[in-house]
A and B are shown apart, each in its own frame.
Chain A
Amino acid sequence: DIQMTQSPSTLSASVGDRVTITCRASQSISTWLAWYQQKPGTAPKVLIYEASSLESGVPSRFSGSGSGTEFTLTISSLQPDDFATYYCQKYNSYFGQGTKLEIK
């Protein structure tokens, strides 16, 4: 089974900061990766699909990159609405452990 390892598990940052979250797959998954944002009590919302494609309606400060086994989600300038938990997922399969983005 493919394992998805996400880091860091917690990230403290300030409004306006640039932040990067990393996701590693235990074997190559090409670009079959999605990034989700989840806020408490709500279903996850897709931000990025196929590793680097921005979902319609998602602000352009979110970007994704990578292929094979190494992937990153970058938020170029944090906004107050971005403080949430982020997950990577191999399509139709395993998730990373999640990254909780907190206000510093």
Chain B
Amino acid sequence: EVRLVESGGGWVQPGGSLKLSCATSGFTFSSYWMSWVRQAPGKGLEWVANIKEDGSEKYYVDSVKGRFTISRDNAKNSLYLQMNSLRAEDTAVYYCVANAKWGQGTMVTVSS
């Protein structure tokens, strides 16, 4: 059974940092592109970032470039998202996605 479990969400003040993690199991992690997708309260889905199987290519939506960093550890079957300089508009549920399989999401709230 494919499982993706996100963690690391929480409340942070504007300008702060958080690191999200996604622990995976049930599939060959190192064979798939991985993505982070977010959904602000009451809004649609927004792709945030993705990373190639070996980590050699990374892509970001314009609104997070220079602030967020996606990474992966194939030995640990894990995906990460380092989020710096957080803004109120980054408030959302963040999902880890692999080959159209989704985790349950972790909530990030940026507020003073």
Contact = CB atoms under 8 A, between A and B. Distances in A.
Interface string B90-112: 00000100001111110000000
A94 B95 CA distance: 14
Contacts of A49: 100
A92 interface: yes
Interface residues of B, number: 18
Pick the 7 closest A-B CB pairs, nearest first: A46-B100, A43-B102, A98-B44, A95-B45, A92-B50, A92-B33, A92-B35
Contact of B47 (A43, A45, A85, A89): A89
B54 interface: no
Contacts of B62: 1
Contacts of A45: 102
A36 B59 CA distance: 22
A1 B104 CA distance: 28
